[in-house]
Amino acid sequence: MLSVGIFSGYFPYTLDKTISCLKENGFQTVQLDLSFKDMDFSAGTITKEKCHKVRNAFRDANLPICAISGYTNIIHPDLDERKRRVGYLKEIIRHARDLGTPYVISETGTYNTESDWVHHPKNKSEEGYEECVKVVEELVQEAYDHGAVFLVENYVNNVIGSIDEVNRLFTDINHTAMGLLMDPTNYFDDSNIDHMDFTLNRIFNSVADKIKIAHAKDCKRAENTGEKHADIDASEAHTFRGAGAVELPAPGTGSLNYELYFKRLTELHPNIPVIIEHLEEDYIPTAKKFVDDTLKKVGY
């Protein structure tokens, strides 16, 4: 049976209040954002003691941490900025086990300097891909050295975005310390948004065995093609709602075939955590009910 969780950052409060909100909404697991109002997890400040405090608080609440958010642009074209970002991500990876999970997640980023999610021509070049692979290899080695697993989350505008790009990355870096964060909405753009079921089936036929954690948001054709953000108290990764021809709203508010998604997901991963995202706090109960009801329809 799939467990349903959410990013902790959608409850932007102190550690205790965040856990209280998660419990009140009936969640069974959480993807951890290191962003509590009463704790500092900025670069250079992460300690084993702070990690254990967070881990134990979630365990006491019977809310296991299934993964940690490490989202950043790992191939930022400014090399000093890239070093800073990758260095902080490595710091999180080194402390993953202290937080109770091996899994740390990031997208692969973009050479665009204005946004972590907007396309740049170098993203789809051989040079850009090879440079990205070198950084991912560093992160995977860091994970392996510390008993962690680096999870790649593809996004269509980033260096690793398409099904073929995901497959190529996992062929070129065939390592036990790397896995895939499954979010089917991240594969859709103007070319395939009208071919929902075909694309979903192709995703699972190609990459299902790499999946470790799953996300639940939605996708639909966008009314405007600019970068879209919600006005909420959260990191940019959580305010983001899509760029280009596709909008990425809350689960149940778009065109993703959720019954097919969950059916294919459970074929190989019947106990995988599903993490809700891309929503405002007042919509959380509705989104969770939608996910729960859909899982019941498919028997999980």
211-216 and 220-221: which strand pairing?
Answer: unpaired
Number of other residues whose CB lies within 10 A of the CB of residue 293: 11
pLDDT digits 0-9 by tens, 150-168: 999 999 999 999 999 999 9
Instruction: Note the Cα 194 to chain centre separation in Å.
Output: 24
Lowest mean pLDDT among 225-239, 244-258, 277-291: 225-239
Q: What is the predicted pLDDT for the residue at 228?
A: 85
Whether residue 115 is predicted with pLDDT greater than 90 in this model: the reply is no
Spatial CA neighbour of 143 closest among 81, 97, 193, 93: 93
Q: What is the predicted pLDDT for the residue at 225?
A: 79
pLDDT level of residue 234 (50, 70, 90 thresholds): confident
Cα distance between the two ends of the chain = 5
Sequence spans of domains, the chain = 3-218+252-297
Whether residue 73 is predicted with pLDDT greater than 90 in this model: the reply is yes
Give the DSSP letter of residue 174. Answer: -
Q: What is the predicted pLDDT for the residue at 202?
A: 97
pLDDT digits 0-9 by tens, 183-206: 999 999 999 999 999 999 999 999
Q: Which amino acid is at 99?
A: L
pLDDT level of residue 226 (50, 70, 90 thresholds): confident
Q: What is the predicted pLDDT for the residue at 257?
A: 98
Q: CATH for 3-218+252-297, among 3.90.550.10, 1.10.645.10, 3.30.70.1140, 3.20.20.150?
A: 3.20.20.150
Question: Do the beta carbons of residue 216 and residue 275 sit within 8 Å?
Answer: yes
Give the DSSP letter of residue 240. Answer: B
Q: What is the predicted pLDDT for the residue at 148?
A: 98
pLDDT averaged over the chain? 96
Please give the average per-residue pLDDT across 255-281, as a whole number: 97
